[in-house]
Chain A
């Protein structure tokens, strides 16, 4: 069986026995989801890339603590969440240094449609950034990574009920914020 056809658990077993190509395959599969998870948690593409790289370093170093009965993506996103929280704490401790990696406002280049889409994206990003970390994690995993409440609960190590309540509160806050920032066209949100 080719590397790209093998399940995650088999790749993990191969990495544990020293196969570097298996780790490359794991990175190829998950780098985009992890970078985008970090991007939506931190609001900065540069920070997201750094944090995602750190996540894969943690994966490689802590692979012996991974239990095969857990889904690999659940374990990976739990590590990614911890790395994002570490970065958020670092920003709180180093406010001046972290100004450079604060959420970016892009230059208004491209067609009117592209600019409009980008501006809406930035407003959504700003609204999500205002959410408390636990609500943001639940929302990002559920809306952008298609996870069920049970999967989000496994990543966040809490009950499904508490994920549901975090999602409800996050969506309520987002509706309020986005109605204000996007204007009348979005009153029916």
Chain B
């Protein structure tokens, strides 16, 4: 087994090493500088947004935008619930009264 291992090892040695490119270090430093510059830009943008939010005019505008977005979202979220309520009311009326069944028929025709 060991002898076979040695033979395999000797064969594997024939897969030779390669040399790194000549400009290896320079490329690594260039990538490090590029990544650092990108990080600085990102931090700069976040700082700018932070500073703007602290100015009254911009903070009021941002609050208005948030309020409008919350309103739109609230409207969209509650719309299906109103339809369900109407349907439930009609079913309740239809179950108990004659006028209720007329109302339900009317609703079906209008559909």
Contact = CB atoms under 8 A, between A and B. Distances in A.
Contacts of A35: 18-20, 24
B15 A125 contact: yes
B11 A189 contact: yes
Interface string A42-86: 000100110011101100110000000000000000000000000
Contact of A49 (B9, B12, B16, B24): B24
B12 A32 contact: no
Nearest to A55: B28
A178 B15 CA distance: 13
A40 B35 CA distance: 28
A183 B17 CA distance: 24
A57 B17 contact: no
Interface stretch (A3-11, A116-124, A155-163): A116-124
B24 A27 contact: yes
B91 interface: no
Query: Which among B5, B18, B31 has the greatest number of chain A C-beta atoms within 10 A?
Result: B18
Contacts of A61: 32, 35
Given A48-B18, A171-B5, A53 B11 contact: no
B8 interface: yes
Contacts of A117: 14, 16
Secondary structure of the B contact surface, majority rule: helix
Contacts of A45: 18
Secondary structure of the A contact surface, majority rule: helix
Nearest to B9: A143
Nearest to B4: A189
Nearest to A49: B21
Contacts of B25: 24, 27-28, 31
**Interface residue range, chain A:** 35 or more
Nearest to A128: B15
B14 A124 contact: yes
A149 to B, nearest CB: 14
A13 B5 CA distance: 41
B11 A124 contact: yes
B14 A121 contact: yes
Contacts of A186: 11
Interface in B63-110: none
Interface of A: 24, 27-28, 31-32, 35-36, 39-40, 45, 48-49, 52-54, 56-57, 60-61, 117, 120-121, 124-125, 128, 143-144, 171, 174-175, 178, 182, 186, 188-189
21 contacts: A27-B28, A31-B24, A39-B17, A39-B18, A49-B20, A49-B24, A57-B31, A57-B35, A60-B28, A61-B35, A117-B16, A120-B14, A124-B12, A124-B15, A143-B9, A171-B8, A174-B8, A174-B12, A175-B4, A189-B7, A189-B8
Given A32-B20, A143-B9, A174-B12, 4 more contacts: A27-B28, A45-B18, A124-B14, A143-B12
